[in-house]
Amino acid sequence: MRSREDLTSTGRSAPAIVTSAAAVDALLIMTFAAIGRDAHARGNVITGVILTAWPFLAGAALTWLLFRVWRMPLAVWPAGVAVWLGTVGIGMVLRAVTGQTVVLPFVIVALISLAVFLLGYRLLVAGFLRLRRSRRRG
């Protein structure tokens, strides 16, 4: 198991890492929403993206709170997986209760896309930190 220092040793303070990770999560969720809106050629770019993204952003925020993601925000497991599944799960529930579309193909696309985004950058950061540590030792 990795230590907290291993996952946050980027030379930045812990609050900066937490803030950056939360901001990247939000940015990637907004990117997911924007790509989806663009793929379906829907108008109202800014308000449309916000309308599409807000349930997922709320899901991510709630997951951050419930799972205390700030403790190890760059960890793929359990933080990244929790954020990914919470974002999609809570996001879909919020979409359903507010009358937005929730169909199986969209759920599958959201699961895959948000896995690539929310887990992908955490994997890249972990790999970068591992490489940096090995270069320092060697």
Neighbours of 44 (CB within 10 A): 10
| Residue labelled with tokens 């930045």 | 12
pLDDT at 12: 62
Res. 67 pLDDT band, cuts 50 70 90: very high
Residue 99 backbone zone (phi > 0: left; psi -120 to 50: alpha; other: beta): left
What pTM was computed for the model? 0.88
